Amino acid sequence: MKIVIGNDHSSVDLKNEIKAYLEEKGYEVLNVGTDTTDSCDYPAYGEKVGRAVVDGAADLGIAICGTGLGISLAANKVKGVRACVCSEPYTARMSRLHNNCNVLCFGARVVGSELAKMIVDEWLNTSFEGGRHQRRVDMIMDIENK
């Protein structure tokens, strides 16, 4: 599985730690984030992550900024993206199980590296349940077409 990861200047260290963690687990990781702490604009990186997922360059995406909020808003503007901000594993699990989220977001100023790893593990190890949830995901995706 290929995972795209993107970040702004506030989250370079956490991005690098999560990238290495994923690679140790055997995932292929595409880095589209900044590698410097020079101030930059998180919307550009949220869009890059989202586009890589919907264009098929990656199966899933992870986007990190200070809080996870701004980068998730940007990623969600890409048609076909269902990005979620998760600050703990339960929300990460439910975002995949019920919402089939394809981009995980979190904040480097909100979660530490060990909690981020738990969130990532829960998210990646959960599959979409389908069933009644598919109808709801379809309804969410239909909003983009209005």
Q: Which residues pair with 5 in a beta bridge?
A: 31, 62
Q: How far is CA 18 from the centre of its chain?
A: 12
For residue 120, what pLDDT band results from cuts at 50, 70 and 90? very high
Q: Look over the chain and give the mean of its residue pLDDT values, rounded to a whole number.
A: 97
For residue 112, what pLDDT band results from cuts at 50, 70 and 90? very high
Amino acid at 98: H
Strands (E), 8-119: 28-31, 60-65, 83-85, 103-107
Catalytic residue status for 9? no
**Using CB atoms within 10 A of its CB, is residue 18 exposed (0-12), middle (13-18) or buried (19+)?**
buried
Q: Show me where the domains of the chain are located.
A: 2-144
Average pLDDT, integer, range 73-86: 98
pLDDT at position 89, please? 98
For residue 87, what pLDDT band results from cuts at 50, 70 and 90? very high
Which one from 65, 86, 101, 105 is the annotated catalytic residue? Answer: 65
Give the count of beta carbons closer than 10 Å to the beta carbon of residue 15. Answer: 26
pLDDT in tens, 25-72: 999 999 999 999 999 999 999 999 999 999 999 999 999 999 999 999
Catalytic residue status for 65? yes
Which one from 9, 86, 98, 133 is the annotated catalytic residue? Answer: 98
For residue 99, what pLDDT band results from cuts at 50, 70 and 90? very high
Domain 2-144 grouped into CATH 3.40.1400.10: yes
Average pLDDT, integer, range 111-130: 97
Amino acid at 8: D
For residue 115, what pLDDT band results from cuts at 50, 70 and 90? very high
Structure tokens at 59: 């199966």
Using alpha carbons, list the distances in angstroms from residue 61 to 38, 39, 66, 110, 119.
23, 22, 17, 19, 13
